[in-house]
Amino acid sequence: MEEIKEKRIGNLMFRKATYLGNEPDVPDWDIDYYYPNIYYGKEKDFIKDTRSPEFYCYPNNQNARIHKNCFKHKEACFTIACFVYDKHEGFYDVKFVGDRPMNLTEEEWMTFRKLLKYGNEVLNTEQDEVY
């Protein structure tokens, strides 16, 4: 059984889904879109929230809060497609997240297709050996 490897091309990445709770026996895999994090390194531009030390507030709006972790990473991301395992059929289906893939540039669309192909190959080839 070969380990499934994450793969990043440009600002798109195929990677195992993250979970707030326990990871299922057969996890989903995502294609995520990365973009520059506008909050990176800008803690000094915000006011520490006195109600909760984990948060900062906008100087002109104390009701809008930003978690301290938002300042730590150069990039942020969101999922545009998921490979979801269908236990009845025994393979992964691809599901788009809304119309997000439709907003890709032509170059990103070509990269997205490469990652779809890669994900399908590594997840749906010889499933009996993988899971």
Residue 130 pLDDT more than 50?
no
pLDDT tens digits, 8-24: 999 999 999 999 999 99
Average pLDDT over residues 90-102: 96
- The domain locations on the chain are 1-36+78-125, 38-73
Residue 36: is its pLDDT beyond 50?
Answer: yes
Three-state SS at 28: coil
Q: What is the mean pLDDT of the chain?
A: 92
* Residue 113 and residue 54 in contact, taking contact as beta carbons nearer than 8 Å: no
pLDDT tens string 65-76 = 999 999 999 999
In this prediction, residue 51 carries a pLDDT of 87
Contact between 104 and 97 (Cβ < 8 Å): no
Q: What pLDDT score was predicted for residue 131?
A: 44
Tell me how far apart the alpha carbons of residues 21 and 125 are, in angstroms, rounded to a whole number. Answer: 28
Distance separating alpha carbons of residues 92 and 28, to the nearest angstrom: 8
| Burial of 115 (C-beta count, 10 Å sphere; 0-12/13-18/19+) | buried
| Region 72-85 average pLDDT | 97
